[in-house]
């Protein structure tokens, strides 16, 4: 099982899912709901239903579901994976997860996948959003300059 937001899908996400798939025969992915994303990260760019559909379309993914907002462990209890793969940069603490799983009598191995080293250019949603904002602001500045030039020539 792999979990994540998967907002603005990028190579880091693909790497994470491929690494997670190596840990078992079937890869089940849990996509965070919009409410969860707002609580933990940022306002989602892409709605949860679309993020879920995109993940379901990836050939590395066997099954995908939306997470549970009230209890993140409910889907683990339901699916009963052998392994939970954490991304190298996910905020979740392996020991805390293991402790909660043990308390619920769920026997799952928790593994953190290694860091993705192959895509510095666009390997983070926040970085992608930053680049889009910069490009948008630059384009608006050019349009203002072109408008000023037209006004002077009129």
Return the CATH architecture of domain 2-118: 3-Layer(aba) Sandwich (3.40)
CB 46 within 8 A of CB 34: no
DSSP class of residue 67 equals -
What is the tens place of the pLDDT at every residue in 71-120?
989 999 999 999 999 998 888 888 899 999 999 999 999 999 988 776 55
Task: Give the integer Cα–Cα distance in Å for 26 and 5.
Answer: 20
Q: What's the pTM value of the predicted model, to 2 decimals?
A: 0.79
Q: How is the chain split into domains, by residue range?
A: 2-118, 124-154
Taking the mean position of all CA atoms in its chain, how far away is CA 140? 30
**Confidence tier at 133 by pLDDT (50, 70, 90):** confident
**Confidence tier at 125 by pLDDT (50, 70, 90):** low
Phi-psi region of 102 (alpha: psi -120 to 50; beta: other; left: phi over 0): alpha
pLDDT of residue 52: 97
């Amino acid at each position: 099982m792999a979990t994540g937001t998967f907002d603005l899908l990028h190579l880091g996400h693909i790497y994470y899912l491929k690494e997670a798939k190596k840990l078992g025969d079937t890869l089940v992915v849990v996509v965070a709901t919009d409410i969860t994303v707002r609580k933990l990260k940022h306002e989602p760019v892409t709605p949860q239903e679309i993020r879920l559909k995109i993940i379901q379309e990836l050939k590395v993914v066997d099954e995908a579901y939306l997470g549970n907002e009230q209890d993140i462990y409910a889907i683990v209890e339901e699916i009963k994976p052998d392994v939970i793969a954490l991304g190298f940069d996910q905020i979740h603490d392996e020991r805390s997860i293991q402790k909660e799983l043990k308390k619920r009598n769920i026997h799952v191995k928790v593994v953190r996948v290694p860091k993705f080293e192959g895509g510095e250019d666009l390997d983070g949603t926040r970085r992608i959003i930053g680049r889009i904002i910069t490009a948008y602001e630059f384009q608006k500045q050019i349009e203002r300059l072109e408008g000023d030039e037209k006004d002077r020539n009129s």
